[in-house]
Amino acid sequence: MKRKRSVKGFGYEIAISLLFALLVCTGCLANPSNATESYKSQAKTDSIMRKAVGDSIYNIITNAKKVVAEEIKMTMDSTKVIVRRKSINVKTKYIPLAQFIVSDPKIYVSNLTSYGKFFPCFKLTFTKKKEKCILNFDFGLKKWNVCDSKGKQIKMYDLPSDDMLRLANMLFPENDLYKNLINTDKR
């Protein structure tokens, strides 16, 4: 009886030792070439973005210390269009998320012709020291544009995914337009 318990206890010790050895060996298999591939992928992403918007805008977006998000609501009256704006400072922990979404190479691929007027309903202003750039998003047309600090359009592109819409909904959860577009949008 004592012999069975000692063999059983010895079996547990062997199993734990093998598990520990497996974990150590797995940790040693970290391949530095994977880090290089990740770096190359990041460099490719950065080069696509840099080529699309230019060096100065690229530097402002990637090195921004402050980002202001603004929701734009337009309502029609019988004689005029009423525009309501609400802006907030994006929390520091969400700035990398906005930069990540804007750095996606897929959003710089195309600018198809659309037969609608561009009315942005969401706006991000990236600020680096005294330099600014503005990104306007029209989720209805699925387009966005890059503007300089004075609001002059530099480039316009299509929005291939709803990532920015989700960020807008996260920053302005009470906005019904964003909620409805997320719930009905099937890409």
- As a whole number, mean pLDDT of residues 50-56 equals 89
Residue 41 has pLDDT above 50, yes or no: no
Across all residues in the chain, what is the average pLDDT? Answer: 81
Q: What is the pLDDT of residues 157-183, one digit of tens each?
A: 999 999 999 999 999 999 998 999 888
pLDDT at 124: 95
Element (DSSP H or E) covering residue 59: helix 55-62
Query: Does the structure show a pLDDT above 50 at 45?
Result: yes
pLDDT at 134: 95
pLDDT at 8 over 70: no
Domain spans of the chain, in order of start: 1-28, 32-184
Residue 2 confidence (pLDDT): 53
Which segment of 15-19, 109-113, 131-135, 161-165 scores lowest on mean pLDDT? 15-19
Q: Which CATH class is domain 32-184?
A: alpha beta
Kindly list the distances between the CA atom of residue 183 and the CA atoms of 113, 165, 174, 176, in Å, as whole numbers in the listed order: 26, 11, 14, 10
- pLDDT over 80 (residue 42): no
Predicted pLDDT at 77 = 67
One-letter amino acid for residue 138 of the chain: D
Distance CA 41, CA 47 (A): 10
pTM above 0.85, yes or no: no
Q: Does residue 141 sit in helix, strand or coil? A: coil
Express each pLDDT in 58-89 by its tens digit.
999 999 999 999 998 877 766 767 778 888 89
Strand, helix or coil for residue 71:
strand
Cβ of 135: how many Cβ atoms within 10 Å? Answer: 21
What one-letter code names the amino acid at 182?
A: I
User: How would DSSP label each residue in 60-104?
Assistant: HHHT-SEEEEEEEEEEE-SS-EEEEEEEEEPPGGGHHHHHHHHT-
